[in-house]
Structure 1
């Protein structure tokens, strides 16, 4: 509670003019105090306030306008009556489904060859191919 009060006092004092003098001290209970008048019997220090920062608002206004335009375009694309809605995504999905099926078939063939028996060198080569295909399958078919 004292910390919250101290922070709110610091905020109030920081909003005042830069000419005001702010003093900080810690009492016998360990609570931090802020005041515009120095305490008579407590050791204290003067708080140095930084000047307030100003940000030009015109950049924010332009950014807000750009975002509004982008949202409007997106709403038009996603509208149920839009002819372009998901068309590109459907084409990509169809191509991706074909590629994923191809990866599955290749992995099945490799797994069959691995089960059939092999020598050390051939087995290492087959396992390497399986790792590469599994990695490609995961990236293109499972993560997207």
Structure 2
């Protein structure tokens, strides 16, 4: 409920502030800062320069977002269809693909374990750089193909 009150406050105050030509600020005896478009008279105050608000055309963002969503859906459909010209994979084909993927992922994990063991065992600078590069490449493949995909 408080966030609704804050939203209403912002919606009412922001247009009033942005439409004002001159703004003034001062701090009262209790240390509270005040802002107004009316010159505060004898109080010590400062004039506030307001910049014009920047406007973001939301229509373009919404249109682009819908276009990206549509493209994502098309890509997902084409990936699901595989190379079968729009046909979905049969259950046997899906099971074979899952087995291949699981085998590949297992291979990546085993290779990472071997590289880690070699790094822990000690190495020269050149060998260590090569092992770290291999570890980075295998980790990226594992992430892309097994964890994210």
**What TM-score comes out, normalization by structure 2 length?**
0.50
Tell me which structure has the larger Cα radius of gyration: 1
> How many angstroms apart in 2 are the aligned matches of 1:55 and 1:87?
49
> How many angstroms apart in 2 are the aligned matches of 1:106 and 1:42?
73
> 1:84-123 residue pairs with structure 2 within 5 A?
91-98=100-107, 100-101=109-110
> How many angstroms apart in 2 are the aligned matches of 1:10 and 1:87?
62
Could you say if the C-alpha distance between residues 38 and 102 of structure 1 is closer, same or farther in structure 2, counting changes exceeding 3 Å? Answer: closer
Could you say if the C-alpha distance between residues 103 and 71 of structure 1 is closer, same or farther in structure 2, counting changes exceeding 3 Å? Answer: closer
> 1:32-43 residue pairs with structure 2 within 5 A?
32-43=33-44
Which residues of structure 1 form unaligned runs of 5+? 111-125
Could you say if the C-alpha distance between residues 59 and 72 of structure 1 is closer, same or farther in structure 2, counting changes exceeding 3 Å? Answer: same
> 1:1-144 residue pairs with structure 2 within 5 A?
11-17=14-20, 20-57=21-58, 59-73=60-74, 75-76=76-77, 77=79, 82-83=88-89, 91-98=100-107, 100-101=109-110, 127-128=122-123, 136=134, 140=138, 144=143
Q: Is the 8 A contact 2:27 2:34 kept in 1?
A: yes
**What TM-score comes out, normalization by structure 1 length?**
0.51
List per-residue Cα deviations over 1:44-75 (Å, max 9, x = no partner): 11111111223345642442133221332355
Larger proportion of helix: 2
Q: Is the 8 A contact 1:78 1:85 kept in 2?
A: no
